Amino acid sequence: MTRPQAPAALSEGDEYIQSISQQVTVSLHGQELNPESYAICKADMFIKGRTSPASSWATPCPTTNWPTAASTLCFSNPPFGVEWKKVQKQITDEHSEKGFNGRFGPGLPRVSDGSLLFLLHLVSKMRDPREGGSRIGIILNGSPLFTGGAGSGESEIRRYLLQNDLVEAIIALPTDMFYNTGIATYVWVLSNHKAAVRQGKVQLIDGSQHFAKMRKSLGSKRQYLTEEQIDELVRLYGRFEETPQSKIFPVEAFGYRRITVERPLRLNFQVSSQRIEKVLEEKAIEKLEAPARQRSDRSPAGHGRKPAAPQPRAV
């Protein structure tokens, strides 16, 4: 069962699964934001003989829940940086009323970026590990990795994923890979049924240099991954070894605490001729003295006289 955002992922995923195993039955489920893409996906399913594909037209953030659905394989390519203000009440209510019995128990990100909501939505659809568990692949920009300090909604979501040992790997992709944006993107691979060697660890793979230039750009898409480069990245992930492109860290390495260090204000006061001279040399003090001298120069009584020297002031 797959749960993608991009409609092509349904048919492509089905074809790939059938090509490597003809004995498996695939049940496809999908959600799509764009109505035109949704219609194309439905038509594609009907053309290929799937007369009743379980798909729905979703809102900008995952408010449609499908409470009984659980997926073996999940893939999502959600929109980058989409705000969820229009559905803020529904999501906030679910977070406050259901807590961890709902989808958004770990926390809520800032309203301006709902990427982590899509990720939590997929996590809630994972099968029980005792039934084989699930694996998730989701493409995100850099914001879910870095946004939010300790204690923020984004940080709490990341802490939940790491402390529950759900993150298997994060793969950095090249820039200029998508039609509508050239920003850096990352593939998150999550699983609630990790192999023993991966438990308690996260693999970081640098695939940013794996690309080939397109002969003609399509919007912001100027680069693509060749079959050989995809195969190399898959092998880096599968071997699970330390290399210049593959780093492995314990989940504890990603935790940190924000500590505010406050010191009392320390000032030293002393009245002396040296300090008075330093004060009078300050530009702010000179500006205060300037208007007084100008008024003295313009007054009849002071005409023809030398301006009096400024008198020292006690500070």
What does the pLDDT read at residue 266? 82
Q: Please report the beta strands in 126-242, taking only residues with DSSP state E, as ranges in sequence order.
A: 135-141, 167-172, 185-191, 201-206, 212-218, 221-224
Asked if 141 contacts 77 with a C-beta cutoff of 8 angstroms, the reply is no
What does the pLDDT read at residue 295? 66
What does the pLDDT read at residue 237? 95
Q: Could you list the mean pLDDT of each consecutive 10-residue stretch along the chain, which spans 315 residues?
A: 53 81 78 76 77 50 61 85 88 92 92 92 91 92 89 93 96 90 92 95 95 89 92 94 95 87 83 85 78 64 53 48
Asked if 134 contacts 73 with a C-beta cutoff of 8 angstroms, the reply is yes
What does the pLDDT read at residue 190? 97
Residues 296 and 286: their CA atoms lie apart, in Å, by 15
Residues 248 and 59: their CA atoms lie apart, in Å, by 37
Question: 261: exposed, middle or buried (C-beta count within 10 Å: 0-12, 13-18, 19+)?
Answer: exposed
Chain-centroid distance of CA 189 in Å reads 14
